[in-house]
Amino acid sequence: SALPQPPSASGSPGQSVTISCTGTSSDVAGYNYVSWYQHHPGKAPKLIIYEVSKRPSGVPDRFSGSKSGNTASLTVSGLQAEDEADYYCSSYAGSNNLVVFGGGTKLTVV
Partner 1 sequence: QVQLVQSGAEVKKPGSSVNVSCKASGGTFNNYAISWVRQAPGHGLEWMGRIIPLLGTTNYAQRFQGRVTIIADKSTRTAYMDLSGLRFEDTAVYYCARESGKWDLPHWGQGTLVTVSS
Q: Which residues bind partner 1 (CB under 8 A)?
A: 2, 31, 33, 35, 37, 39, 44-47, 50-51, 56, 86, 88, 90-92, 96-104
In the bound state with partner 1, the residue whose beta carbon lies nearer, of 83 and 105, is 105
Rounded least distance, CB 5 to partner 1, Å:
8
Rounded least distance, CB 4 to partner 1, Å:
11
Quote the strand ranges of 2-109, DSSP E.
8-11, 17-22, 34-39, 46-49, 63-68, 71-76, 85-92, 99-101, 105-109
- Residues 6+ positions from 95 with CB-CB distance below 8 Å: none
Rounded least distance, CB 72 to partner 1, Å:
13
In the bound state with partner 1, the residue whose beta carbon lies nearer, of 4 and 18, is 4
Instruction: Give the rounded distance of the alpha carbon of 52 from its chain centre.
Output: 9
